[in-house]
Structure 1
Amino acid sequence: MHGFVLLRHHATAGPSHNAGTHLDLPMENAMHPSRTPAPLRRALLAGAALLAAAGPAAFAQAPAYPSKPITIVVGYPPGGSTDLTGRAVGAELSTRLGVPVVIENLGGAGGAIGAQKVASSAPDGYTLLVGANNEIAINKLVTQKVKYDIKDFTAIGLVASQPLVLVAGTNTGVKNLAEFTERVRKNPGKFSYGSSGVGTSLHLAGEMIKEQGKLFMTHIPYRGVAPLTNDLVGNNLEFGVFVLSSGLPHIKSGKVVALGTTEAKRSTVAPDIPALAESAQYKNVDIGTWFALMAPANLPKPVAERLKKALNETLESPDFRKRMEASGSTVASTSVDVDRFLATEIAKYKKIVEFAKIEE
């Protein structure tokens, strides 16, 4: 079938500027088709026949979403917790949406390179971000190098979270949170704690612990978790903050000592480790790492609703839950108001950044 175009000509008050296409029909001809000139009548009838033959397809809209592969961008190399989360989400969305989902790892700048790509992409639902709080909510607060803002995204939903854990090196002799607090308070400035980098959620957690406990420790930023782990296990660093899934193997092997997790309640992944908030001194400590599914701003509402439905079905999947728990994460509730959650988290991070004067 040949395509066709329906043109709408807008009438003007003055004479036509193209005499060759100007046509005046008396009103009586319009009211009585039999008086319409024969050539025009035949043309109108032919056009009507063509439209009838074309049927509803002639007015078909764009294909229903999704109609082609979707790309999920992860702002880190393969193998980390954000990547594992992205791949788990991608597999579920592919099944539920009926199209392939490709994972694109764009590591660098603490996840900001990948987030920037999604923020700058067309809002059509075919380029999404599975990101952590670092690139979604923290980076903009600590560096001017980040050009995107939370307003440049449409939040589809929260996916999962992981608590962080405060640990001590075995050479400190510290066995619990009370001993940690006493030791650091009696020796202000003597001890250091490490994180995976300036402005990361691990760094902010360390500063929140310092603020709540009225402690003076020096922060040592490492270039990732691997060198941080090496120094803690090698007893070259007294204290550190880990993502629970990264620290748990070393805790279980006795190479480091767990002092407490950083979310308000104990983790279901490691319920034997107390939450710092169980101590009156640290009752307001509530910070972790979370992962969310994001799309560019101005995403059409039907596309956003389709993605939210697929994500909610994913979060309720027992297989997905098992997969996430195996990686140390707790799956988010489908009842979370993600926009309100993000606003609350950003406000919390801003206070910590201002307290610690964090700037990169």
Structure 2
Amino acid sequence: MNRVRLAIFLALLGLAAASSQAATPAPYPSKPVTLIVPFPAGGSADVIARVINVPLGNQLGQPVVVENVGGAGGGLGAARLARAPADGYTVLLGTVNEVVVVPLVNRTVPYKVDDLVPVGKVGESSLVLVGRKDIPARNTDELVEYARSNPGKLTYATSGIGSMQHVIMEMVQARTGASMLHVPYRGGSSLISDVLGGQVDLAIVTPAAAADHIEAGRLRAFGTTSLRRDESLKRVPTLNEGQYLKDLQQNVWIGLFVPVNTPSDVATRLNAALTALLADEGVRSQLQRASLSPAARAEQAGFSAKVAEDRAQMRETVSKMKLSKD
């Protein structure tokens, strides 16, 4: 009888232990993490993802797998994140394109600006306006004057409708009275080759994508979107150095985002891992070679506020320029 009671007791004890273990979730992360890049492979965002995914995985103790989801100016990748479970196992390497601009410009995308929550800043970069080498303009002012005199003749390529590049070029036209034809692409990796091949006249891209072609004379650089000259393109003026675009300035940030309602401890863990990897000089050097200025530790605390500020400013810009599409 005592043996029976002992067996029952041990069985109940085992069930209780199993139940306790089942009720206690495994510490995050307990499996690989997917890092969504909202642009095709080979573009600037993809290059940055390939720089950080391994060191981020090392910090988290689990592999970080890059998944490219291009299209709609980054909107398809952002929508993929918005649909994902809010558990930290799907993370977006997001830019101002799909996080801020796309849901304001394109009302058909299945997510809102508040569906994507910032975790931490990776860095920021300027953009550069380039053209085919035989374009009949040597600088920004001549380009504006040529576009004014030949409305609709020049074409410009961007990474998609509603992308930051699209908005900047619409701003250029609105401020100068120039008229150019927009040619949207699924991502930035093929823009340069089409400008080189003469399929389009202009493109607005990251400095890393264009630097070698500018240096070799295969592309003409008109200006960067930064307030001061880009460190990687010191001989290229800013767009605001000309007479027509004095106050134009728009850098592009990139950071990690998770779905809304992701537990705060998970977001904190991701932020800590990102901050640690950005302290590594080897990682910082690789990001700088990709024309990205890596975020400093002090910038992390203000990243959410920066995203919110850009959302408010861009909402006003999109409304004024009547860029919103239903």
Structures share fold, TM-score greater than 0.5: yes
Which of 269, 273, 282 is matched with 2:232 structurally? 269
Report whether the alignment pairs 1:158 with 2:117: no
1:121 equivalent in structure 2: 84
Deviation at 1:94, TM superposition (A): 0.8
Deviation at 1:205, TM superposition (A): 1.4
Deviation at 1:114, TM superposition (A): 2.3
Residues 239/58 of structure 1: CA separation in 2 closer, same or farther (3 Å cut): closer
Aligned residues: 311
Residues 167/78 of structure 1: CA separation in 2 closer, same or farther (3 Å cut): closer
Which of 171, 180, 195 is matched with 1:218 structurally? 180
Cα distance in 2 between the residues matched to 1:116 and 1:182: 39
Aligned AA (2:177) = L
Deviation at 1:279, TM superposition (A): 4.4
Aligned AA (2:260) = A
CA contact (8 A) 2:53 2:66 kept: yes
Q: For residues 116-172 of structure 1, give each alpha carbon's deviation from its aligned partner in whole angstroms, at most 9, with x where no partner exists.
A: 222122222111111222221111112122121121122101212231112243333
Determine helix, strand or coil for the equivalent of 2:91: strand
CA contact (8 A) 1:201 1:288 kept: no
Written as runs of structure 1 = structure 2, the 5 A alignment for 1:63-212 is 63-185=26-148, 187=149, 189=151, 191-196=153-158, 197-212=160-175
Aligned AA (2:156) = G
Cα distance in 1 between the residues matched to 2:32 and 2:190: 37
Cα distance in 2 between the residues matched to 1:334 and 1:211: 37
RMSD: 3.0
Aligned AA (2:318) = V
Determine helix, strand or coil for the equivalent of 1:79: coil
Residues 225/74 of structure 1: CA separation in 2 closer, same or farther (3 Å cut): closer
TM-score between both structures, scaled by the size of structure 1: 0.76
Aligned AA (1:260) = G
Residues 172/72 of structure 1: CA separation in 2 closer, same or farther (3 Å cut): closer
Pair member with larger Rg: 1
1:349 equivalent in structure 2: 314
Determine helix, strand or coil for the equivalent of 1:290: strand
Which consecutive unaligned segments of at least 5 residues does structure 2 have?
A: none
Report whether the alignment pairs 1:291 with 2:254: yes
CA contact (8 A) 1:77 1:83 kept: yes
Cα distance in 1 between the residues matched to 2:132 and 2:67: 37
Which consecutive unaligned segments of at least 5 residues does structure 1 have?
A: 1-41
Q: For residues 188-230 of structure 1, give each alpha carbon's deviation from its aligned partner in whole angstroms, at most 9, with x where no partner exists.
A: 6265240223222211111222234x23222321435466445
Q: Percent identity?
A: 31
Deviation at 1:241, TM superposition (A): 2.2
Higher mean displacement: 80-89 or 277-286: 277-286
2:298 equivalent in structure 1: 335
Which of 226, 243, 246 is matched with 2:206 structurally? 243
TM-score between both structures, scaled by the size of structure 2: 0.83
Aligned AA (1:153) = L
Determine helix, strand or coil for the equivalent of 1:157: strand
Cα distance in 2 between the residues matched to 1:149 and 1:161: 23
Q: For residues 245-284 of structure 1, give each alpha carbon's deviation from its aligned partner in whole angstroms, at most 9, with x where no partner exists.
A: 2222321121222111002222222222222234464232
CA contact (8 A) 2:125 2:291 kept: yes
Cα distance in 1 between the residues matched to 2:217 and 2:111: 42
Written as runs of structure 1 = structure 2, the 5 A alignment for 1:305-320 is 305-320=268-283
Deviation at 1:297, TM superposition (A): 1.0
Higher relative contact order (CA 8 A, sep 6+): 2
